[in-house]
Amino acid sequence: MAELTLDDACTPAWLAYNAMFDTKQQHYAFMETLENKQKKFNISPSAADKQKLAEYLMQHDAQVKVFTQLSMELKAQHPESHKLLFDFIAQLGDGEPNKKTQH
């Protein structure tokens, strides 16, 4: 498959995708930390831990909404760029953005 390059119209949605991915990773990483504390040391999450986990989830939910809105706007204004963005995301495989991507 030829390497895809995003155009300028994709930039806001691409940045939102990266933010969405980052917040998902933060949430999952903290959840894993809490699960490991429970499994290895039988330490249940504290109220502060639960609050922090909830905040990570809220941050991710907010980023999902931003990405969804920007991708809908992109589709309405630049359908070709919208297709390009989602083809680009599909070629990532695991969904992890490459921070070195050039626009």
* Nearest one of 24, 23, 9 to 76, comparing CA atoms: 9
Which tens digit of pLDDT belongs to each residue from 16-49?
A: 999 999 999 999 999 999 999 999 999 999 999 9
**What tokens does 45 get?**
């999450």
Q: How far apart are the C-alpha atoms of 65 and 63, rounded to whole Å?
A: 5
Neighbours of 45 (CB within 10 A): 17
Which tens digit of pLDDT belongs to each residue from 47-88?
A: 999 999 999 999 999 999 999 999 999 999 999 999 999 999
CA 33 → CA 7, 49, 52, 59, 100, distances in Å? Answer: 38, 10, 12, 18, 28
